[in-house]
Amino acid sequence: MSDEHERRSSRRRRTFLKGQLVFNNNSSVLDCIVKDLSDAGAAVSFDGVFNLPQEFELLISTRDVQVSAHLVWSRGTTHGIAFTAGTVAPRNSSGTVGG
């Protein structure tokens, strides 16, 4: 088992969900695939290699979820992220990030 698996505080479930990372005060959006998901974090992948910011919002529209997160690790097109405690919130009525 890898170090990432041993350090996890909650079990991850394999998924194939469309997501978006939002950053730069909601002015930048990257489409991603959420490959696995837990209460504490996720693994996301992209069509290309990106240098992600350290902090961002993850949107999963099919679950109507917006959560603050930070980057934990990166390997090529796949990145591990951890959720910031207590930030899971539905999107606002206009479907945009934040209020």
Q: What is the CATH number of the domain that holds 21?
A: 2.40.10.220
Q: Do the beta carbons of residue 67 and residue 88 sit within 8 Å?
A: yes
pTM listed for this prediction: 0.77
**pLDDT higher than threshold 50 for residue 97:** no
Does residue 90 sit within a domain?
no
Tokens (6 digits) for 30: 């990257």
> Could you give the 3-state DSSP secondary structure of residue 63?
helix
Alpha-carbon distance values, 40 to 28, 47, 69, 78 (Å): 24, 24, 9, 17
Q: CA–CA distance from 47 to each of 14, 43, 50, 93 (Å)? A: 19, 14, 9, 29
Domain count, the chain: 1
Helices (H), the chain: 3-7
Q: Give the tens place of pLDDT for each residue, 57-94.
A: 999 999 898 999 999 999 999 999 999 965 555 555 44
Higher pLDDT, 96 or 91: 91
Say if 96 falls within a structural domain: no
